Amino acid sequence: MSKGIPGRSLGEVILCAKGEGLRAALLELAPEERDLLLLFGCVGLSYGEIAEALSLPLGTVRSRIHRLRQKLRERLILAPEVTYGA
């Protein structure tokens, strides 16, 4: 599933994440997990667009992104200096 973000290096995409804690947490994810979150949060694709691009069912994309957001939230509880947004 992990094909990277078209036209962007990992470094460029990680820069959209503000705060060292968030960047570190994203780098700890498996590449295919990181791709899902970055396509949604940084590139701005909708769930439907991600599902189409990765040839996954819409429900699978929604549930995976939900679980990954929870996973990141848990990792960031100890990193209060993190800010969000591009």
**Higher model confidence: residue 19 or residue 69?**
69
Average model confidence (pLDDT) for the chain?
A: 76
Summarised one tens digit per residue, pLDDT across range 27-55 is: 888 999 988 988 988 888 999 999 999 99
> Does residue 86 surpass a pLDDT of 50?
no
What pLDDT is recorded for position 6? 52
Decide: pTM greater than 0.95.
no
> Could you tell me if residue 17 is left (phi over 0), alpha (psi between -120 and 50 degrees) or otherwise beta?
beta
Domains and CATH numbers, the chain: 31-77 (1.10.10.10)
Contacts 24+ apart (CB under 8 A), 42-51: 42/5, 42/13, 42/16, 42/17, 42/86, 43/5, 43/13
What pLDDT is recorded for position 42? 81
